[in-house]
Structure 1
Amino acid sequence: MENIVAFKGNVKYQITLDPGVWIFDDRRVDLTTFFIQEKIGNNELEEYTKAVSKHWDREIMEGAVFPPTLKTEKKFEKEKVLTGTFGIPFKPFLMNAEPRENAEFVVIESEDGQTRLTLSQAEELILGFSIDGKPLKEDGPVHVYFGDGSNQNSPIKNVKAFRVV
């Protein structure tokens, strides 16, 4: 059970996190590009309109282009999963545990000590669970990255639990 991370403390539901199944989760993010992408709050309607316009223009100029076969897409996705470096946002887990109204902080408990963050800071965390397609066995099961990427080169390792206080 050393690959399980406890989520405990001042929460309505004490849950456990199993990073071994996150590779199949659609919320996973590619850590090689996540911190270098610009964080721009796009207007969703504007983004949708631009995408539809671009598609329409392409069809007028080039004609209809059919998407690659499902077999090709599956092969590409499988290759990406086997070789990728992935993380997952922490916020959904925090929301599922439902911190109580008087909760103020999240304490990350690791073998190297404790790190205390406010709830709003904790919502921005990214939990790294895979490097080059391999789970984090030696210093895992997760690495904790701050949402702004400030600790990208030295994440919090050997995490044992998250405690809400």
Structure 2
Amino acid sequence: MENIISISGNAKYSITLDPGVWIFDDRRVDLDSFFNTNTAQVDELDEYTKSISKHWDREIMEGAVFPPTLKTEKKFEKEKVLTGTFGIPLKPFLQNAEPDKSAETLTIVSDDGEEHVPLSEARSFILGFSLKGKPLREDGPVHVYFGDGRNKDNPIKRVRAFIIK
């Protein structure tokens, strides 16, 4: 249970997070390149439309033949998962907790103390959960990165809970 993190406090729901299953989540981001690229706000509907269009174009160009590139793409994805450094946005979890309208602060509780951050800024947090394909056992279960990357070299470590105040 030491890898479980909770979001609680001034919210409609308390949420329990298990970073061990995030490797299978489509919302994961590659932390090796995330802070190095220009991360504009992503419109999920637009991204979905682009991926469907890409698939449709592939069907038209290649037909029903199973192209060998799909096998290599799957192998590459598997390699990436086994060796990559990943994080996941905190925003969807905060939305699911449904903070009260009066909530203004998110407190990050870690073994090193507490850090208070405006809730508006916390929505851009990225929770790092994997380093080179391995879970963060020594100083985890997650590392908290600010969305703008200002602490990418020194994230908040040993996080135990998030409290909405």
Shift of 1:139: 0.5
Tell me, in whole angstroms, the C-alpha distance in 2 between the residues paired with 1:16 and 1:107: 16
- Output one character per residue of 1:4-40: Cα deviation in whole Å (capped at 9) or x when no partner: 0011111100011000000000000000000010134
Tell me, in whole angstroms, the C-alpha distance in 2 between the residues paired with 1:71 and 1:39: 29
Structure 1's 41 and 138: CA in aligned 2 closer, same or farther, altered over 3 A?
closer
The reply on whether 1:164 has 2:161 as its aligned counterpart is no
Tell me, in whole angstroms, the C-alpha distance in 2 between the residues paired with 1:42 and 1:14: 27
Tell me what 2:85 maps to.
85
Counterpart residue type for residue 72 of structure 2: T
Tell me what 1:141 maps to.
141
Tell me what 2:15 maps to.
15
Tell me what 1:122 maps to.
122
Tell me, in whole angstroms, the C-alpha distance in 1 between the residues paired with 2:14 and 2:5: 11
Count matched residues: 152
The percentage of counterpart residues that share the same residue type is 63
Tell me, in whole angstroms, the C-alpha distance in 2 between the residues paired with 1:81 and 1:41: 24
Shift of 1:75: 1.1
Shift of 1:73: 2.1
Tell me what 1:153 maps to.
153
Tell me, in whole angstroms, the C-alpha distance in 2 between the residues paired with 1:13 and 1:147: 24
Tell me, in whole angstroms, the C-alpha distance in 2 between the residues paired with 1:94 and 1:42: 17
Shift of 1:42: 8.2
Tell me, in whole angstroms, the C-alpha distance in 2 between the residues paired with 1:28 and 1:41: 15
Shift of 1:41: 5.6
Structure 1's 132 and 9: CA in aligned 2 closer, same or farther, altered over 3 A?
same
| Gap regions ≥5 residues in structure 1 | 56-63
Shift of 1:65: 6.0
| Gap regions ≥5 residues in structure 2 | none
Tell me, in whole angstroms, the C-alpha distance in 1 between the residues paired with 2:92 and 2:79: 27
Q: TM-score, normalised by structure 1?
A: 0.84
Structure 1's 78 and 121: CA in aligned 2 closer, same or farther, altered over 3 A?
same
Give the SS at the match of 2:20: helix
The 5 A counterparts of 1:101-112 are 101-112=101-112
Counterpart residue type for residue 158 of structure 2: N
Shift of 1:141: 0.2
Q: TM-score, normalised by structure 2?
A: 0.84
Tell me, in whole angstroms, the C-alpha distance in 2 between the residues paired with 1:86 and 1:42: 18
RMSD: 2.3
